[in-house]
Structure 1
Amino acid sequence: MRLPEVERGDDLRSRSLIRLISAISGMRLPDAARVAFYHKDFVGPALGAWTQAAMRGPSGWTVGERELMAAMVATWNSSAFCIGAHRATAVHGIGAATVDACLADYRTAPIAEPLRAALAFLETMTLRPEELLPSDARAAMAAGVTRAQLVDAAAVAALFNIITRYADALGFAIPTAAEFDKSALMLLKRGYG
């Protein structure tokens, strides 16, 4: 369901910022950014801070790897907007061939075993959370994932299990591939905060 307030902003300041950013960037401000202007006192600061910490804070995972994790969660949740957005951003960190191979089947993709093990953990966490057991964490750590990396990966998955549903519930518009790429570059430069 598209809310008019998300599309245009819920106050004069938000409407002005949305117009200004769209004009400067030369493209429609993506809905993921527009929702940050919607009832900022409700979820904006908390969600923005959590996203910035999970996706750009200190981590044993690179930014590209965390963006890939977000794209994988989006794939498992069939969220077209989030797949496009995080695929485009991950590509800048780890390359299109690797990202696309992971999105097709991370089990056979040309990635390091710790990342593959983390993705297996996140897949269970996303698709079958009731089956997630301590043995899944031990298996990931046996494959070289540190405890801190597992915590960081779980934070990315928890966050994007929420965001993908949020994006789909609000009916986010799907940008073109070129617009996703332009947004990815802005996201890499400015972060999520």
Structure 2
Amino acid sequence: MRLPDVERGDSLRGRALIRVISIVSAARLPDAARVAFYHRSFVGPTFGAWTQAAMRGPGDWSVGERELMAAMVGHWNSCAFCIGAHHATAVRGLEPALVDACLADYRTAPISEPLRATLAFLETMTLRPGDLAASDAKDAMDAGVSRTQLADAAAVAAVFNIITRYADALDFTVPTNAEFDRAAAMLLRRGYG
């Protein structure tokens, strides 16, 4: 259900910012960014800061790997917007064929065993959270994932399990591949905050 205020902004300031950003970028401002202008308390500075920390904060996962994790959460939740947005960003830090292989089946993709074990943990966290157990964390750590890496990956999945749901609930427009590419460039420059 698309809310008109999400589309156009719910305040004069929000409407002006959406219009200016769209003009300057020569593209429609993606709905994920539009939501940030809708009732700032809904997806405002706190959520933006959490997303920025999960996606760009210090840690051992590269930006490409974190974006891949976000794309995988989008894939598991069948969120076309998040798959497209984070695929477009992940391929700027990882080989496109590797990202495609992971989205097809991370179990057979040519990735490191620690990343594969982390994705298995995140898949359970996303699809069967009630089944997630200490043994899942132990399996990941036995594959070479550090406790910090697992916590960082869980933060990415937590954020994007929320985002995928509101993207679908608010009926985000799914941009073209070219629009996703332009948005990915901006996301890499500006981040999530």
2:20 aligned partner: 20
1:69 corresponds to 2:80:
no
Partner of 2:163: 163
Cα distance in 1 between the residues matched to 2:124 and 2:42: 30
Query: For 1:114-164, what per-residue CA distance to the aligned partner results, in whole angstroms no more than 9, with x for missing partners?
Result: 000000000001111111110100000010100000000000111111100
Partner of 2:178: 178
Residue number in structure 2 paired with 1:146: 146
Partner of 1:188: 188
Using the alignment, how far apart are the partners of 1:42 and 1:19 within structure 2? 20
TM-score (norm 1): 0.99
Aligned to 2:102: 102
**Mapped contact 2:55–2:66 kept (Cα < 8 A):** yes
Contact 2:35–2:43 under 8 Å retained in 1: no
Does 2:82 correspond to 1:87?
no
Q: Partners of 1:190 and 1:98 in 2: how far apart?
A: 25
Distance (whole Å) between structure 2 residues aligned to residue 42 and residue 170 of structure 1? 13
1:41 Cα deviation after fit: 2.8
What SS class does the counterpart of residue 91 from structure 2 fall into? helix
Q: How many residues align?
A: 193
Question: Shift of residue 27 of structure 1?
Answer: 0.6
Secondary structure of the equivalent of 2:99?
helix
SS where residue 94 of structure 1 aligns? coil
CA RMSD of aligned residues (A): 0.6
Deviation at 1:42, TM superposition (A): 3.4
Q: Distance in 1 between matches of 2:109 and 2:43?
A: 36
TM-score by length of 2: 0.99
Secondary structure at 1:92 match in 2: coil
Q: Give 1:43 shift.
A: 3.1
CA deviation digits over 1:146-183, x for unaligned, max 9? 00000000001111111000000000000000000000
Q: Distance in 1 between matches of 2:87 and 2:144?
A: 24
Amino acid at match of 1:157: A
Partner deviation per Cα, 1:1-49 (whole Å, 9 max, x = no partner): 0000010001111111100100011110000000000111333111101
- What does residue range 114-125 of structure 1 map to in structure 2 within 5 Å? 114-125=114-125
Q: Partners of 1:22 and 1:103 in 2: how far apart?
A: 30
Could you list the structure 1 runs, at least 4 aligned residues long, displaced by more than 2 angstroms after superposition.
none
What is the DSSP-based 3-state SS (H/G/I as helix, E as strand, rest coil) of the residue aligned with 1:107?
coil
| 1:156 counterpart letter in structure 2 | V
CA contact 2:98–2:110 (8 Å) conserved in 1: yes
